[in-house]
Structure 1
Amino acid sequence: MNALNLHNLSINISFGLLFMSMLSYWSSIAFYNIKVFSFLAQKSMITSNMILFFTISIRWAESRHFPLSNLYESLLFLTWGITFVNWMLEIRIKSNLIGSLITPLATLIIAFASLSLPNNMQEATSLVPALKSNWLVMHVSVMMISYAVLMVGTLLAILFLVLSQELNPISKKQNQASIAASYAKNKIRLLESIDNLSYKTIALGFPLLTIGIISGAVWANEAWGSYWSWDPKETWALITWLVFAAYLHSRITRGWEGKKAAILASLGFIVVWICYLGVNFLGQGLHSYGWIK
């Protein structure tokens, strides 16, 4: 089996495992008494993460440069990052809600990378001159990890908004019943945990985003003679930074929590995707090597 077939096989296996993990997470919530669904969900997600790490490592060894030189490679790295964050969160908090939310996103990303992108965009190619720098590993990897962490944190905020909408009518209509009161109490505890976890996750992703932007500015000065050129990717990176800076500022200094903070964090989910993928549809600017034709 040659390297290309091995690569395709590993990607297909990763996709299949993530899809099975997604279905298992959903089943574990629908049929919470059947423990095998939780076991299958977690083991499938972890195995897929490890296979993706193996695939990225092999691609690195073959191309002899860090495999983040095009959109396809960055999508694989992003999927690995998201599933890794999911893995770490589940070690801390034993809840299938997180996986049921994150695995669909990871499945869609790897499906888009392997099924939608043309073969010529999936091939490992030599680096363009601007990327032939030691800053490639520092800047691009940190930015991609920050995207993964921030996406997970904002998804948790969206989950908070969905669950909080479900809680209100039940607590208002049946707040006199003991069963409803117990349900509401447990739901409030869950909401507090999700809100706190979302905040901590975003608080971790924000400094990574900051480091990524700063390192990118230094690299840009070396490559193009300017720290900042208002390239579309640079502009949206700044907008993303400002959105999450506003979120953290509102939580730390204004005491925002709950719905108001979650709404702002949910906006960050859209902004991150525009910064990462949306500007690639433009095919313009200094980062055009990652465009979508």
Structure 2
Amino acid sequence: MNLNLWLNLLTNTSFANSIYLILLNTMVCYWLSIKYPKLNILKNLCWVGVLSSNLLLFTILSLRWFVAGYFPLSNLYESLLFLDWCLLFILLIVEGKSKTKIIGAIIVPITLLIISFATLILPPPMQSAAPLVPALQSNWLMMHVSMMMLSYATLILGSLLSILFLVISSTQKFNLSINKKTTQNQLLENIDNWSYRTIGLGFPFLTIGIIAGAVWANEAWGSYWSWDPKETWALITWLVFAAYIHARLTQGWIGKRAAVLGSLGFFVVWICYLGVNFLGQGLHSYGFLS
């Protein structure tokens, strides 16, 4: 009990506050690095900030896993931390491939908002590690929830890139560029391509997560699908991104038309993840508002 109390105090104050401050400074560095692309020190500070935040989040989740004895995805606080970790981890990979700070400039503010909400808005009882309720005591917990959160993080990134595409394309003069040789049209083409690839990566994660959830539901409640609000919105989310990928592959949608559909996915993901739990009751309310 004392160990668990120490864990909650440590992860909910020291580490969480450190992550908040690091992400705040990293966000400023990203914005400055776009304004002053020749300053390599800003790019290095961005990388250090993302990496250190990622490691701190990994440490928090690992400590909670060690002390609680189960994968730390049983309540809203833990899922928010895991979502933040996924976003930052994906950012490290994508940024390494794209060689641009544009993606980090739109993702880091989202991660800052998530950690702020988790640590400053959620009451302390909701941040504490607690024993799992019987319905969550299953080996499917890690498989289902981790896949869903990983898909949310990937799809959020892809959708944000679609929103960025619409913002830039609607602006006559936009100075944001990867380098001097990159025109606005080339930049838009790159963003459209990054968005498509990212959503294409997140869609299989979402599919696996939904299938694993159906198997777990049958094990826990005796039914693969019960049209619970969370299940319904997960299906809507899947259909939206399935339509996006279908339109790109078979209808040849690129540019604005694809970006509009991809942008819609951003709001659908957040409704599925948070909105359903705050607006309605269902079988997936364990550890969120209960």
Same fold by TM-score greater than 0.5: yes
**Number of matched pairs:** 281
**Do the aligned partners of 1:283 and 1:291 also contact (CA within 8 Å) in 2?**
no
**Do the aligned partners of 2:241 and 2:262 also contact (CA within 8 Å) in 1?**
yes
1:195 pairs, out of 176, 192, 196, with 192
> Could you tell me the TM-score, scaled by structure 1's length?
0.92
Aligned-partner Cα distance in 1 for 2:72–2:288: 16
1:222 pairs, out of 219, 222, 227, with 219
Matched, 1:62 2:79: no
Aligned-partner Cα distance in 2 for 1:136–1:290: 13
Structure 1 residue 283, shift from structure 2 partner = 4.4
Structure 1 residue 41, shift from structure 2 partner = 1.3
Which residue in the other structure is 2:9 paired with?
A: 5
Aligned-partner Cα distance in 1 for 2:144–2:7: 28
**Do the aligned partners of 2:233 and 2:271 also contact (CA within 8 Å) in 1?**
yes
Structure 1 residue 32, shift from structure 2 partner = 2.3
**Do the aligned partners of 2:8 and 2:127 also contact (CA within 8 Å) in 1?**
no
Aligned-partner Cα distance in 1 for 2:19–2:228: 34
Map 1:119-130 → 2, pairs under 5 A:
119-130=124-135
**Do the aligned partners of 1:142 and 1:211 also contact (CA within 8 Å) in 2?**
yes
Coordinate RMSD, CA, aligned = 1.7
Which residue in the other structure is 1:175 paired with?
A: none
1:75 pairs, out of 74, 80, 96, with 80
Aligned-partner Cα distance in 2 for 1:290–1:283: 14
Query: SS of 1:229's equivalent?
Result: coil
Amino acid at match of 1:55: I
* Structure 2: gaps of 5 or more residues: 175-179
Which residue in the other structure is 1:45 paired with?
A: 50
Which residue in the other structure is 2:155 paired with?
A: 150
Structure 1 residue 260, shift from structure 2 partner = 0.3
Aligned-partner Cα distance in 2 for 1:291–1:192: 40
Structure 1 consecutive aligned stretches of length 4 or more whose deviation exceeds 4 Å: none
Query: SS of 2:286's equivalent?
Result: helix
2:271 pairs, out of 241, 265, 274, with 274
Aligned-partner Cα distance in 1 for 2:27–2:49: 9
Map 1:89-168 → 2, pairs under 5 A:
89-166=94-171
Amino acid at match of 1:107: L
Q: Deviations over 1:171-228 (max 9, x none)?
A: 9xxxxxxxxxxx8961111111111111010001001100000110010001000000
State the structure with bigger RCO (CA 8 A, min sep 6), 1 or 2: 2
Which residue in the other structure is 1:231 paired with?
A: 228
Structure 1 residue 138, shift from structure 2 partner = 0.5
Query: SS of 2:25's equivalent?
Result: helix
Aligned-partner Cα distance in 2 for 1:284–1:290: 12
Structure 1 residue 39, shift from structure 2 partner = 1.3
Aligned-partner Cα distance in 2 for 1:47–1:134: 30
Matched, 1:263 2:260: yes
Q: Deviations over 1:147-172 (max 9, x none)?
A: 00000010111111111112xx359x
1:252 pairs, out of 249, 254, 259, with 249
Map 1:4-23 → 2, pairs under 5 A:
4-7=8-11, 8-23=13-28
* Structure 1: gaps of 5 or more residues: 172-182
Aligned-partner Cα distance in 1 for 2:79–2:154: 15
Q: Deviations over 1:99-151 (max 9, x none)?
A: 00000000000100000000000000011111000000000000000000000
Matched, 1:87 2:87: no
Give the percent of matched residue pairs that are identical in Structure 1 and Structure 2: 58
Amino acid at match of 2:87: I
**Do the aligned partners of 1:283 and 1:292 also contact (CA within 8 Å) in 2?**
no
Matched, 1:286 2:290: no
Structure 1 residue 290, shift from structure 2 partner = 4.0
> Could you tell me the TM-score, scaled by structure 2's length?
0.93
